[in-house]
Amino acid sequence: MDMVQRLSQIRGRVDTACARVGRDPASVRLLAVSKGHPPEVVRSACDAGLAMFGENKVQEAKAKIPLCPGRLEWHMIGHLQSNKVRDAVAFFHTIQSVDSLNLAVELNKAAEKAAKVARIFLEVNVAGESTKFGYSPEAIFADLEALNQLPRLEIHGIMGMAPWTPDATRVRAAFRRLREIRDQCCSHLGVPSMELSMGMSGDFETAIEEGSTLIRLGTAIFGPRRFARPVAD
Protein backbone atom coordinates (compact mmCIF):
# COMPACT_ATOMS: atom_id res chain seq x y z
CA MET A 1 0.00 0.00 0.00
CA ASP A 2 1.39 3.44 -0.86
CA MET A 3 1.11 6.62 1.16
CA VAL A 4 -1.93 7.92 -0.70
CA GLN A 5 -3.81 4.69 0.00
CA ARG A 6 -2.75 4.68 3.64
CA LEU A 7 -3.90 8.29 4.00
CA SER A 8 -7.28 7.55 2.52
CA GLN A 9 -7.67 4.62 4.95
CA ILE A 10 -6.69 6.86 7.85
CA ARG A 11 -9.21 9.51 6.79
CA GLY A 12 -11.89 6.83 6.66
CA ARG A 13 -11.00 5.69 10.18
CA VAL A 14 -11.03 9.29 11.44
CA ASP A 15 -14.47 9.84 9.89
CA THR A 16 -15.82 6.64 11.45
CA ALA A 17 -14.43 7.50 14.90
CA CYS A 18 -15.93 11.00 14.62
CA ALA A 19 -19.30 9.58 13.57
CA ARG A 20 -19.36 7.30 16.64
CA VAL A 21 -19.29 10.33 18.95
CA GLY A 22 -21.01 12.92 16.76
CA ARG A 23 -17.95 15.02 15.99
CA ASP A 24 -17.19 16.95 12.82
CA PRO A 25 -14.14 15.31 11.14
CA ALA A 26 -12.85 18.83 10.37
CA SER A 27 -12.33 19.27 14.13
CA VAL A 28 -9.57 16.62 14.07
CA ARG A 29 -6.35 17.68 12.36
CA LEU A 30 -3.54 15.40 11.33
CA LEU A 31 0.08 15.99 12.27
CA ALA A 32 2.37 13.81 10.14
CA VAL A 33 5.26 12.61 12.30
CA SER A 34 8.21 12.52 9.89
CA LYS A 35 10.99 11.65 12.36
CA GLY A 36 13.27 8.99 10.93
CA HIS A 37 12.21 9.81 7.36
CA PRO A 38 14.12 11.89 4.81
CA PRO A 39 12.96 15.12 3.10
CA GLU A 40 11.84 13.21 -0.03
CA VAL A 41 9.24 11.43 2.07
CA VAL A 42 8.03 14.75 3.50
CA ARG A 43 7.78 16.10 -0.03
CA SER A 44 5.53 13.23 -1.17
CA ALA A 45 3.39 13.68 1.92
CA CYS A 46 3.10 17.36 1.07
CA ASP A 47 2.07 16.43 -2.49
CA ALA A 48 -0.55 14.14 -0.95
CA GLY A 49 -2.03 17.18 0.82
CA LEU A 50 -0.42 17.12 4.27
CA ALA A 51 0.71 20.45 5.69
CA MET A 52 1.60 19.86 9.35
CA PHE A 53 4.65 17.83 10.31
CA GLY A 54 6.14 16.72 13.61
CA GLU A 55 9.73 16.04 14.60
CA ASN A 56 11.12 14.90 17.94
CA LYS A 57 14.76 15.97 17.68
CA VAL A 58 16.01 19.49 17.04
CA GLN A 59 19.16 18.29 15.25
CA GLU A 60 17.24 16.12 12.82
CA ALA A 61 14.68 18.87 12.18
CA LYS A 62 17.36 21.48 11.60
CA ALA A 63 18.96 19.34 8.90
CA LYS A 64 15.63 18.34 7.33
CA ILE A 65 13.36 21.40 7.37
CA PRO A 66 15.48 23.54 5.00
CA LEU A 67 15.26 20.72 2.42
CA CYS A 68 11.45 20.53 2.60
CA PRO A 69 8.80 22.72 0.96
CA GLY A 70 8.69 26.13 2.66
CA ARG A 71 4.98 26.36 3.34
CA LEU A 72 4.81 23.51 5.88
CA GLU A 73 3.98 23.95 9.56
CA TRP A 74 6.48 22.17 11.83
CA HIS A 75 5.75 21.02 15.38
CA MET A 76 8.34 19.93 17.94
CA ILE A 77 6.96 16.89 19.78
CA GLY A 78 10.08 15.48 21.49
CA HIS A 79 11.81 16.33 24.74
CA LEU A 80 13.52 19.70 24.42
CA GLN A 81 16.76 20.54 26.20
CA SER A 82 17.46 24.11 27.28
CA ASN A 83 20.55 24.35 25.07
CA LYS A 84 18.38 23.75 21.96
CA VAL A 85 15.72 26.41 22.58
CA ARG A 86 17.22 28.90 20.14
CA ASP A 87 17.01 26.46 17.22
CA ALA A 88 13.62 25.23 18.37
CA VAL A 89 12.23 28.77 18.25
CA ALA A 90 13.83 29.35 14.86
CA PHE A 91 12.62 26.16 13.17
CA PHE A 92 9.26 25.29 14.73
CA HIS A 93 5.83 26.85 14.36
CA THR A 94 4.73 25.21 17.63
CA ILE A 95 6.60 23.52 20.46
CA GLN A 96 4.30 20.86 21.90
CA SER A 97 6.72 19.46 24.48
CA VAL A 98 7.02 22.19 27.11
CA ASP A 99 7.28 20.35 30.42
CA SER A 100 8.77 22.79 32.95
CA LEU A 101 8.74 26.45 33.91
CA ASN A 102 12.54 26.53 33.47
CA LEU A 103 12.26 25.42 29.87
CA ALA A 104 9.46 27.92 29.26
CA VAL A 105 11.59 30.75 30.69
CA GLU A 106 14.43 29.79 28.34
CA LEU A 107 12.03 29.64 25.39
CA ASN A 108 10.66 33.03 26.33
CA LYS A 109 14.18 34.50 26.30
CA ALA A 110 14.97 32.90 22.95
CA ALA A 111 11.70 34.18 21.46
CA GLU A 112 12.45 37.67 22.76
CA LYS A 113 15.91 37.60 21.14
CA ALA A 114 14.38 36.40 17.88
CA ALA A 115 11.67 39.08 18.09
CA LYS A 116 9.05 36.34 17.89
CA VAL A 117 6.15 34.96 19.84
CA ALA A 118 6.49 31.19 20.39
CA ARG A 119 3.40 29.00 20.31
CA ILE A 120 3.58 26.24 22.89
CA PHE A 121 1.61 23.26 24.15
CA LEU A 122 2.14 21.89 27.66
CA GLU A 123 3.08 18.21 27.75
CA VAL A 124 1.41 16.23 30.50
CA ASN A 125 2.47 12.76 31.61
CA VAL A 126 -0.80 11.04 32.41
CA ALA A 127 0.63 7.60 31.74
CA GLY A 128 2.63 7.82 34.94
CA GLU A 129 5.53 6.06 33.22
CA SER A 130 8.95 7.31 34.26
CA THR A 131 10.21 6.86 30.69
CA LYS A 132 7.79 9.53 29.49
CA PHE A 133 8.37 13.25 29.77
CA GLY A 134 5.82 15.85 30.75
CA TYR A 135 4.31 17.67 33.67
CA SER A 136 2.61 15.58 36.29
CA PRO A 137 -1.12 16.47 36.25
CA GLU A 138 -0.76 18.21 39.61
CA ALA A 139 2.38 20.20 38.80
CA ILE A 140 0.91 21.85 35.74
CA PHE A 141 -1.59 23.92 37.71
CA ALA A 142 1.09 25.20 40.07
CA ASP A 143 2.97 26.67 37.07
CA LEU A 144 0.11 27.75 34.86
CA GLU A 145 -0.10 31.35 36.03
CA ALA A 146 3.66 31.90 35.72
CA LEU A 147 3.68 30.27 32.29
CA ASN A 148 0.84 32.47 31.16
CA GLN A 149 2.72 35.61 32.23
CA LEU A 150 5.71 34.94 29.97
CA PRO A 151 5.16 37.67 27.36
CA ARG A 152 6.74 35.88 24.40
CA LEU A 153 4.91 32.57 24.84
CA GLU A 154 1.36 31.70 23.88
CA ILE A 155 -0.17 28.56 25.37
CA HIS A 156 -2.23 26.91 22.63
CA GLY A 157 -2.76 23.36 23.83
CA ILE A 158 -2.07 20.27 25.88
CA MET A 159 -0.11 17.29 24.56
CA GLY A 160 0.13 13.79 25.95
CA MET A 161 0.41 10.08 25.35
CA ALA A 162 -1.44 7.03 26.56
CA PRO A 163 0.53 4.34 28.39
CA TRP A 164 2.05 1.49 26.35
CA THR A 165 -0.47 -1.16 27.16
CA PRO A 166 -2.93 -3.42 25.36
CA ASP A 167 -5.42 -2.52 28.11
CA ALA A 168 -7.93 -0.38 26.20
CA THR A 169 -9.54 0.85 29.42
CA ARG A 170 -6.30 2.38 30.65
CA VAL A 171 -5.63 3.99 27.28
CA ARG A 172 -9.08 5.58 27.26
CA ALA A 173 -8.72 6.72 30.87
CA ALA A 174 -5.43 8.46 30.04
CA PHE A 175 -7.02 10.34 27.12
CA ARG A 176 -9.99 11.28 29.27
CA ARG A 177 -7.65 12.66 31.92
CA LEU A 178 -5.82 14.74 29.30
CA ARG A 179 -9.09 16.20 28.16
CA GLU A 180 -10.05 17.11 31.74
CA ILE A 181 -6.68 18.79 32.21
CA ARG A 182 -7.16 20.72 28.96
CA ASP A 183 -10.62 21.85 30.08
CA GLN A 184 -9.29 22.92 33.50
CA CYS A 185 -6.45 24.85 31.85
CA CYS A 186 -8.99 26.66 29.67
CA SER A 187 -11.00 27.74 32.68
CA HIS A 188 -7.89 28.77 34.66
CA LEU A 189 -6.69 30.83 31.72
CA GLY A 190 -10.12 32.15 30.83
CA VAL A 191 -9.94 31.02 27.21
CA PRO A 192 -12.80 29.29 25.37
CA SER A 193 -10.73 26.48 23.83
CA MET A 194 -7.30 24.94 23.46
CA GLU A 195 -5.88 22.20 21.27
CA LEU A 196 -5.74 18.66 22.60
CA SER A 197 -2.84 16.82 20.96
CA MET A 198 -3.27 13.09 21.59
CA GLY A 199 -3.53 9.87 19.65
CA MET A 200 -0.80 8.04 17.72
CA SER A 201 -0.89 5.28 15.09
CA GLY A 202 -1.97 2.60 17.57
CA ASP A 203 -4.64 4.52 19.48
CA PHE A 204 -5.90 7.51 17.48
CA GLU A 205 -9.51 6.37 17.19
CA THR A 206 -9.87 6.18 20.97
CA ALA A 207 -8.17 9.59 21.24
CA ILE A 208 -10.69 11.07 18.79
CA GLU A 209 -13.59 9.59 20.75
CA GLU A 210 -12.16 11.28 23.85
CA GLY A 211 -11.84 14.68 22.19
CA SER A 212 -8.45 14.89 20.44
CA THR A 213 -8.15 17.88 18.10
CA LEU A 214 -4.71 16.91 16.76
CA ILE A 215 -3.64 13.33 16.14
CA ARG A 216 0.08 12.67 15.66
CA LEU A 217 0.64 9.84 13.21
CA GLY A 218 3.97 8.45 12.01
CA THR A 219 3.84 4.73 11.27
CA ALA A 220 0.22 4.77 10.02
CA ILE A 221 1.16 7.28 7.30
CA PHE A 222 4.75 6.43 6.44
CA GLY A 223 5.12 2.79 7.45
CA PRO A 224 7.91 1.67 9.76
CA ARG A 225 10.74 4.11 10.44
CA ARG A 226 13.98 2.89 8.91
CA PHE A 227 16.32 5.35 10.61
CA ALA A 228 18.22 5.40 7.34
CA ARG A 229 19.99 8.56 8.40
CA PRO A 230 20.37 8.52 12.13
CA VAL A 231 21.08 11.97 13.55
CA ALA A 232 22.44 12.38 17.04
CA ASP A 233 20.70 14.93 19.23
Ligand X SMILES: *Cc1c(COP(=O)(O)O)cnc(C)c1O
Check binding of 125 to ligand X (CB under 6 A).
Answer: no
Residues 109, 101 contacting (CB under 8 angstroms) = no
> Which residue among 51, 117, 200, 231 contacts ligand X (CB under 6 A)?
200
> Which residue among 14, 61, 77, 171 contacts ligand X (CB under 6 A)?
77
Residues in the chain: 233
> Which residue among 7, 18, 23, 35 contacts ligand X (CB under 6 A)?
35
Binding residues for ligand X, total number by CB under 6 A: 13
d(CA 152, CA 104): 10
> Which residue among 30, 33, 95, 107 contacts ligand X (CB under 6 A)?
33
> Which residue among 28, 37, 56, 89 contacts ligand X (CB under 6 A)?
56
In this structure, the strands spanning 52-55 and 214-217 are unpaired
Comparison of 152 and 182: residue with beta carbon closer to ligand X? 182
For residue 202, the minimal CB distance to ligand X (Å) is 6
Comparison of 171 and 220: residue with beta carbon closer to ligand X? 220
Could you tell me where the DSSP H helices lie in 2-64? Answer: 3-21, 39-47, 58-64
Residues 195, 156 contacting (CB under 8 angstroms) = yes
> Which residue among 44, 82, 148, 201 contacts ligand X (CB under 6 A)?
201
For residue 159, the minimal CB distance to ligand X (Å) is 7
For residue 225, the minimal CB distance to ligand X (Å) is 7
Residues 200, 164 contacting (CB under 8 angstroms) = no
Given the rule CB under 6 A, which of 1-9, 99-107, 109-117, 197-205 is the region that contacts ligand X?
A: 197-205
Residues 122, 155 contacting (CB under 8 angstroms) = yes
CA distances from 215 to 66, 95, 105, 203 (A): 24, 15, 27, 9
Residues 82, 106 contacting (CB under 8 angstroms) = yes
Comparison of 174 and 220: residue with beta carbon closer to ligand X? 220
